[in-house]
Amino acid sequence: MQEIRKRLTKIEERLNYISQVKGSEKWGNVDSVLQRFVAVRDAIFDISTDKMATKIHTLEDEISFLEERAEESLTGMDRVRIVRSPLRFSLKDILENVYDDYTELGGEEEASIDASMVCAKATVSAKIKGKTVTQQVMVIGHEKGHGEEYRNGGCSKPWGNEKALRFMMVAQTEGIPIHAYIFTPGSFPVEEYPGAGQQIARNIYAMTKLEVPIISIISEGGSGGAEAIGCSDYRLMFSHGYYSVISPEGGAAIEGKVREGQKIPMEMVESCAERLKITATDNLRLKTIDRIVEEPLLGAKRDAYEFFKRVKYEMIRATDEVVLKTKSLRAFRNYEMKLNRSRKELGDDAHIDVSWELNRDEMARLLEMRSKKYRAMGCEGICAKGSFLGRLASRVKEKSSKYFYNIRYDMLHSHQKQVKQVMHDVTSESAVVIKQVAGPLASVFDFFTRRQESPALLVGGEDLNREQVYDNTYTSPLANEDRTVTCPNSERLGCKDLWVPDLYGQFGGVCENCGHHFPLEYQWYLKHLFDRDSIREFNSKLLARNPLNSPDFEKRLKVAIKKTGRRSSMITFDARVRGVEVVVAMLYSNFRNGTVGSTEGEKFVQAAERARMMRRPLLSYVHTTGGIRIQEGTLGVTQMPKCTMAVREYVDAGGLYVVVYDNNSYAGPVASFLGCSYYQFAIRSSRIGFAGPRVIRDTTGVDIPPDYHSARNALKRGHIQGIWDRREFRTNLHKSLMTMGGKSLYYR
């Protein structure tokens, strides 16, 4: 009888799970099977055990058939529901079943700085040539089960991500690989120090050059939260998981322009989940992951022990593969690994002998491979307009420039530096001698002739004290209206109404009483920030595309192209600021609200490479950015590590990277290639953050003060280094370039 009871409980569980995954009891004939099940269960004392066993067997067969049908017709949203099911395995199950032993670091259970992020030192063993080989790894991942009430659904707080980074550094010190398990719907969007976006940026920045193999595996990969621990050498994904730029509900709310508090129609969410291409197969096709780890029907649950064996094999194999690629002597082991890859059954001899310890050369090779991997990532959505000859010419030009700058800076410049040093010493010595001899005579001569000091000149010969004149260069078209506007601070600070021609002309869009900065178009900055006629745009032909073929998006892109006369939301150009040559990457609001997709990411990377090649400072001026372009799905998300990698390599090569935020800067770009800069500044009245107020309210359930994202609060939290007045932007930028860049600007 007890056996029958157990089987009945299991049947009920399986039926409930199917209806939960499919979002309704009405799918298939689940409800009728459920009715039959209830009838059988209620008759448990009325019929004989044999008859009951037969009926249960029939039900089990029906349910198995239902499960197979459900598996065949899994939609994107079904996978989201699988991942969110409380029955799904979580990190603790993996730690218990995949690893031999583990010690949780940085807190345990609820006594942790952030219980949603678990860090553990673990040992994992494999049988190789009949011997058991045990190796150590650092396991870092999100935990959403086993104490759900304090796990926060796997949404890591900024300090949780900081904890992850701390233990990644420990792994680097100890030279052990990192296994990252991603089970997060997204990061907890609070700005309190270290700040959600800024900490993710720091994590990605550190992971780009972390000198240990990193293997990540995604079950629930929610955008920035996933990237905080997901920048790895090998990216695996569970077959029933999802990896997405935004939750389908969030995406549907944005695309459908659903107002806060209104219910989002389920059909809209379902179709959004399909459009976002969030499944493992989609991601493998888009090359945002390397391999899929198969799960049992309708996803693995906590008791899927055979599946955990598979996970163990896949994690060890992925680590072996990454490590093996760094070794010089690897041909036979590589061949063996390829043979093993196609095997479905896992024997005891499935592993090969690879030591996970790396020497200096192997580490360098590992980092180079990681760099190449991310450089190639997300290139699916890029399209350069122009003829074949034109592209060829630009390639030739690029190559020749590379050689030219290599010769100029690496060969000639170092010799020139040495010669200069010697000449400097010689002239200094002789100056002392000449001064001793000619000093008295010169002072007598000066006294009689009263020679005046010439004013100090800067690099490029421009006068330091010369003021920027605004009105005779460019006037905002906003100034052409004959009307007044009210400053938003007028009630509090008593600002008078401002006459528009004055405001956008003479005052540079700044309230003369309180200093509030009214938004200005990006062209104003192009005209006032840089030296006249110094702007030389490059990569202007790279065209923003619709790589996931989102319906209607093609049309919207065409509208944006027509409106702006540009092909993407990023403008990259060479320019001069008071004679200092800089490379600029500018995100502006008019084109899809400054969102970043594959094209913008590629343009940014090429700008960083150009700045590196030409030994120039790199400026990211963010007129506005609304985040990653959701219509590009994970191709957009991968721009985060890709661009951060470019920044890291540029900075490591000695470059000076300065970021200036204006108007509104939110989400992915702030949480990656912008937030990772050591030198971040903001223009007054701008807002900087990870998630907007509505997302914060929806996620945390708490309202935020209206000035939560203000530049001043960002400064207080230590996210930025200063706030600049728009009218002094040029002066401050030049000063920053000179003080932080040093004499040669390319400071190492």
Partner 1 sequence: MSQQDTINYDAVLSKFREDPFAYVDINAMHTGHIRFHVREGDKVEGLTGDFRHIKGTLLCELTRERNQKPIHCTTNGEVSFVNKVLDGQFVQAGEKIMTIRHPLKKREIIEQILRDVLVPFAAPEKAKYYFAMDIQNRIEKFGQRSVSVKAGDEVFTMSLMKRDTPVYYTGEAGIIHSVYFKPGQSMELGEPLVGVCPPEKVAVVEKIITRVKAEWE
Binding of residue 706 to partner 1 (CB under 8 A): yes
CB of 306 or CB of 703, closer to partner 1 = 703
Residues 588-627 interacting with partner 1 (rule: CB under 8 A): none
Cα angle for residues 719, 725, 729 (degrees, 5° grid): 90
Residue 482 Cβ vs partner 1, minimum distance, rounded to whole Å:
7
Question: Binding marks (x or -) toward partner 1, 458..487, rule CB under 8 A?
Answer: -----------------------xxxxxx-
What ranges in 530-683 are assigned the alpha helix state H? 553-564, 598-614, 633-637, 639-652
Q: How far apart are CA 499 and CA 483, in angstroms?
A: 6
Retrieve residue 395's tokens. 């390639």
CB of 173 or CB of 484, closer to partner 1 = 484
Binding of residue 409 to partner 1 (CB under 8 A): no
CB of 455 or CB of 706, closer to partner 1 = 706
CB of 329 or CB of 702, closer to partner 1 = 702
- Among 3, 368, 446, 703, the residue binding partner 1 under the rule CB under 8 A is 703
Q: How far apart are CA 338 and CA 257, in angstroms?
A: 49
Q: How far apart are CA 206 and CA 49, in angstroms?
A: 63
Binding of residue 502 to partner 1 (CB under 8 A): no
Residue 509 Cβ vs partner 1, minimum distance, rounded to whole Å:
16
Question: Binding marks (x or -) toward partner 1, 651..690, rule CB under 8 A?
Answer: ----------------------------------------
CB of 495 or CB of 571, closer to partner 1 = 495
CB of 130 or CB of 705, closer to partner 1 = 705
Binding of residue 54 to partner 1 (CB under 8 A): no
Binding of residue 705 to partner 1 (CB under 8 A): yes
A 10 A CB-CB count for 665 gives 30
Cα angle for residues 626, 630, 635 (degrees, 5° grid): 115
Residues 138-197 interacting with partner 1 (rule: CB under 8 A): none
- Among 409, 470, 499, 538, the residue binding partner 1 under the rule CB under 8 A is 499
Q: How far apart are CA 339 and CA 341, in angstroms?
A: 5
**Sign for the pseudo-dihedral over CA of 132, 133, 139, 142:** negative
Residue 705 Cβ vs partner 1, minimum distance, rounded to whole Å:
5
Q: What is the CA radius of gyration of the chain?
A: 30
Q: How far apart are CA 731 and CA 580, in angstroms?
A: 12
CB of 509 or CB of 594, closer to partner 1 = 509
Closest CA to 724 of 711, 714, 737, 713: 711
Residue 374 Cβ vs partner 1, minimum distance, rounded to whole Å:
41
CB of 104 or CB of 698, closer to partner 1 = 698
Residue 500 Cβ vs partner 1, minimum distance, rounded to whole Å:
9
CA distance readout (Å), 315 to 30, 178, 181, 299: 37, 10, 10, 18
Residue 703 Cβ vs partner 1, minimum distance, rounded to whole Å:
4
Question: Binding marks (x or -) toward partner 1, 208..227, rule CB under 8 A?
Answer: --------------------
| Sequence letter at residue 646 | A
Residue 510 Cβ vs partner 1, minimum distance, rounded to whole Å:
18
Residue 687 Cβ vs partner 1, minimum distance, rounded to whole Å:
14
Closest CA to 288 of 235, 231, 226: 235
Residue 197 Cβ vs partner 1, minimum distance, rounded to whole Å:
22
CB of 455 or CB of 705, closer to partner 1 = 705
Give the helix/strand (H/E) hosting 245.
Answer: none
CB of 355 or CB of 486, closer to partner 1 = 486
What ranges in 175-265 are assigned the alpha helix state H? 196-208, 223-230, 248-255
Q: 3-state secondary structure string, 477-488? A: HHHHCCCEECCC
Residue 478 Cβ vs partner 1, minimum distance, rounded to whole Å:
14
**201: Cβ–Cβ under 8 A, 6 or more apart, which residues?**
644, 670, 671, 672, 673, 674, 675, 676
Binding of residue 497 to partner 1 (CB under 8 A): yes
Segment contacting partner 1 (CB under 8 A): 516-524, 574-582, 605-613, 703-711? Answer: 703-711
CB of 460 or CB of 693, closer to partner 1 = 693
CB of 9 or CB of 484, closer to partner 1 = 484
Residue 672 Cβ vs partner 1, minimum distance, rounded to whole Å:
30
Closest CA to 718 of 156, 188, 195: 195
A 10 A CB-CB count for 47 gives 12
Segment contacting partner 1 (CB under 8 A): 292-300, 436-444, 659-667, 699-707? Answer: 699-707
- Strand positions, DSSP E, 358-464: 382-384
* Cβ pair 586, 572 in contact under 8 A: yes
Residue 706 Cβ vs partner 1, minimum distance, rounded to whole Å:
4
Q: How far apart are CA 383 and CA 390, in angstroms?
A: 14
CB of 421 or CB of 486, closer to partner 1 = 486
Q: How many residues bind partner 1 (CB under 8 A)?
A: 11
Q: How far apart are CA 243 and CA 282, in angstroms?
A: 9
- Write phi, then psi, for 131 (nearest 5 degrees): -110, 150
| Sequence letter at residue 24 | S
Residue 288 Cβ vs partner 1, minimum distance, rounded to whole Å:
39
Using CB under 8 A, list all residues that contact partner 1.
481-486, 497, 499, 703, 705-706
